Structure 1
Amino acid sequence: MSASPLVPAPWLTSPVIDCEPVPHPLGQPCPTPSGSALHRVRPHRPAPREAPPPKTAAVFAETTLRRVIEVIDRRRPIAQLRPLMTPVLVDRVLARARAARTGSATLHRVRVRAVDTGGDEVTAAEVFASFSRSGRVHAVAARIERYRDHWRMVALQIG
């Protein structure tokens, strides 16, 4: 029995079209834009207003992220995260806490944005945060959702 060689399908790759403009010669300056192009007035379009997140979601997000950082720094037991997160996330935070750390982290900013409304009530939100450790600033992204009568973190990414 012989194996057939793997041949890539022709639709998987295609050449990239060069979209770059032709460069100007080094001795010539770039053309100056016209006065009308520099003073063109663009109509201002107001951004659509989105529903603000509930205060409970913002408080939950900040509290949970603070606990996550404290668990990673080994200043708090992992058991305190179990009611706040899915079991998969608890395992990931535990794995991250096992790595060697230098210095403790400090949470700086937490922003919450409502993303899903189930009728009149917000049922999910995105969380964006930053924290610093040993002079470096790191980012955190998460998603929280309504779970029964309280909030629960269902996704977490720490940069």
Structure 2
Amino acid sequence: MTDSSAAGGRSSSLMDNLLGLLRIRVKRGVNLAVRDVCSSDPYVVIKMAKQTVYDHDTFTKDDKMGDAEFDIKDYVDALRMNLKDLPSGTIIRRVQPSRQNCLVEESCITWNEGKLVQDLCLRLRNVECGEVEIQLQWIDLPGSKGL
């Protein structure tokens, strides 16, 4: 499983006028499906709008271990608030699990040591079991004035 990944740039009007990087850190997989004899060697592929987990195989095609989707709209909306100097641990917004997302539980967008952070636990779909814990964090580019 990868330790961290960063995605940046503009893909739609949602990200317009944002100058920086969205870091997506894969924290861990929980109760992942077994795809080899007694374990798996999972890794994650992150795409705009999709996150997918695979088992790496040396001699055969890698096995898909599920997929999950999450929406960054609430996180981006919180970024656009241009928050400053809040106490660490301040909850900015709560995102509830619903039929439109793969959240296992409520996800909080939190001000943490001067950064806006969102921790998510995603239930994998199209597989018998498994969850992936990720964290979103915005990184301003040096010299930028933010939003």
TM-score of the two chains, using structure 2 as the length reference: 0.31
Higher strand share: 2
Higher relative contact order (CA 8 A, sep 6+): 2
More helix by share: 1
